[in-house]
């Protein structure tokens, strides 16, 4: 394998899908089976260098080290909540910080991962939006969050990551190309081999990308809805002015789901704003005809935000109205609020 890297930057192999790695190998005179070997090594637990790829010749390993590298995130910060939720802070090569959150449950571990540094969507109730937008994460930076947390769990005998949710910092569909590459690696049987049924991509409502995502890959979809009329949603979520509810829900109807799955609609309950019985009735009518389940999220209050959590009676009434109309409705318990790891609280204050 000739040394071409002296005049350019080395290639991060974790930025490459298996097909792209095969092309990279071919360009360096390596057969496809070598690319397959290298790709499988990249995602083995605890792998940290080409020297550990023991079924490759020493010469090839040394050549790879000259031409390429594979990035590895390690937690700069790790906080554990009273409820067992773990927040990881990762410092990127440019000094920016991102956060991932592990939510342990009785029979599974769910990892919430970030797709951007900050977020441009500026949803009124979300602290991440107050950061502003810095940049998209690379494919490697997305995938590395999963590898790093998986390694940490293994080292501490805490099981494995079972489910992935793209609900951390950023709007995943605004980083579409890198999202698709990361999902391809996450689902690849030689990569991290997650079932399509165990990956959920959340969006605040980029309608064209919702349709394209469903055409490209099979994953679960969660839509941050948070209002049942355009006037309220315009105030809470600026993206609604670009893709109003009618356009968004048409895209949801076109989205190709994994078998026997439904779209999850997330609805944060804000006292006096979107939590009335009338709002619940409007929501039920709005989602009519869509394979839907609804997650209600009582507002996570923060001093920086002008919103309050409704009382339990109001939450129960809202839920019951939807249930009576045939919807599966869960009130999602807040996890990790004491370490600012709950929904809408990720702000990575040291990212600037």
Query: Catalytic positions, please?
Result: 99, 343
Q: Are 310 and 297 in contact (CB under 8 A)?
A: no
Cα–Cα separations (whole angstroms), residue 325 to 22, 116, 171, 290: 52, 37, 31, 13
β 133-136/220-224 pair status: unpaired
């Amino acid at each position: 394998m000739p040394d071409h890297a002296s005049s350019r930057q080395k290639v991060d192999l974790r930025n490459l899908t298996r097909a792209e790695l095969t092309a990279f190998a071919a360009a360096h005179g390596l057969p496809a089976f070598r690319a397959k070997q290298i790709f499988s090594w990249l995602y083995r637990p605890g792998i940290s260098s080409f020297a550990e790829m023991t079924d490759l010749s020493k010469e090839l390993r040394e050549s790879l080290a000259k031409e390429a590298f594979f990035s590895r995130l390690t937690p700069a910060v790790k906080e554990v909540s009273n409820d067992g939720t773990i927040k990881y802070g990762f410092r990127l090569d440019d000094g920016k910080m991102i956060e991932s959150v592990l939510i342990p449950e009785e029979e599974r571990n769910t990892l919430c991962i970030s797709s951007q540094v900050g977020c441009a969507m500026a949803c009124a109730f979300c602290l991440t939006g107050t950061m502003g937008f810095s940049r998209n994460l690379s494919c490697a930076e997305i995938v590395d969050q999963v590898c790093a947390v998986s390694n940490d769990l293994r080292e501490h005998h805490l099981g494995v990551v079972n489910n992935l949710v793209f609900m951390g910092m950023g709007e995943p569909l605004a980083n579409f190309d890198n999202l698709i590459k990361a999902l391809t690696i996450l689902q690849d049987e030689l990569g991290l081999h997650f079932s399509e049924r165990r990956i959920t991509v959340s969006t605040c409502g980029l309608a064209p990308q919702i349709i394209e995502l469903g055409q490209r890959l099979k994953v679960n979809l969660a839509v941050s809805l948070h209002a049942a009329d355009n006037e309220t949603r315009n105030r809470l979520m600026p993206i609604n002015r670009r893709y109003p509810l009618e356009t968004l829900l048409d895209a949801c109807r076109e989205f190709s789901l994994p078998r026997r799955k439904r779209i999850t609609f997330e609805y944060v309950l804000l006292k006096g704003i979107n939590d009335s019985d009338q709002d619940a009735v409007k929501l039920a009518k709005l989602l009519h005809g869509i394979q839907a389940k609804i997650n209600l999220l009582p507002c996570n209050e923060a001093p920086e935000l002008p919103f309050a959590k409704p009382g339990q009676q109001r939450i129960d009434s809202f839920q019951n109205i939807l249930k009576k109309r045939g919807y599966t409705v869960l009130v999602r318990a807040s996890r990790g609020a004491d370490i600012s790891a709950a929904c809408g609280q990720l702000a990575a204050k040291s990212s600037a």
